[in-house]
Amino acid sequence: MKKDVVIVGGGPAGIVTATTAKKTYPDKSIVVIRREREGVVPCGIPYIFHTLPTVDANAMPIKGAEDLGIDFIFDEVDEICTDSKMVKLSCGEFIEYEKLVIATGSQPIFPPIKGNKLPGVFTIAKDKEYLKSVCAVAKSAKK
């Protein structure tokens, strides 16, 4: 498969990059590669604990990007071959590109402080299932 623009990462930066590129260059083929079909809006994560009814209510939709003609692949990139301008997906497929954007975001870390491994101490990762488990623990916590 060959695409004009390959974007690795489907969070806010990846989606905004894809939609901006498509609006600026409507004839270019664009694909976003992301792990999960439906991610969360990172800046909305604090609201899942009190304001939003569920973690699913904080889902980041891709329909608008799809409506613009942006393609999505739900997989992981195992390798980036800059010399041949190709990315290799974990399924074994290669995608050739003209331009590559890496928009993989950030990952939280546990700071090396006393108590960071105690029960009920969490980092806040941008993963729906993980956030559902954190919400369940938070709801059962003593006030």
Query: Between these two residues, 96 and 124, which has the higher pLDDT value?
Result: 96
**Domain map of the chain by residue range?**
2-106
Query: What's the predicted TM-score (pTM) here?
Result: 0.86
Nearest residue to 44 via CA among 33, 31, 55, 28: 55
- Tell me what the mean pLDDT of segment 3-8 comes to: 99
Cα separation of 114 and 117, whole Å?
Answer: 8
pLDDT for 141 equals 80
Residue range 18-44, pLDDT digits in tens: 999 999 999 999 999 999 888 888 889
Instruction: Confirm or reject CATH 3.40.190.10 for domain 2-106, answering yes or no.
Output: no
Residue 81: active-site member: no
Antiparallel, parallel or unpaired: β 59-60 and 86-89: unpaired
Q: Which residue in the list 43, 81, 91, 135 is annotated as catalytic?
A: 43
The first and second tokens of residue 82, run together, are 């800059």
pLDDT 10s digits, 113-127: 999 889 888 888 888
| CB of 68 closer than 8 Å to CB of 22 | yes
Rounded to an integer, what distance in angstroms lies between the CA atom of residue 110 and that of residue 105?
A: 17
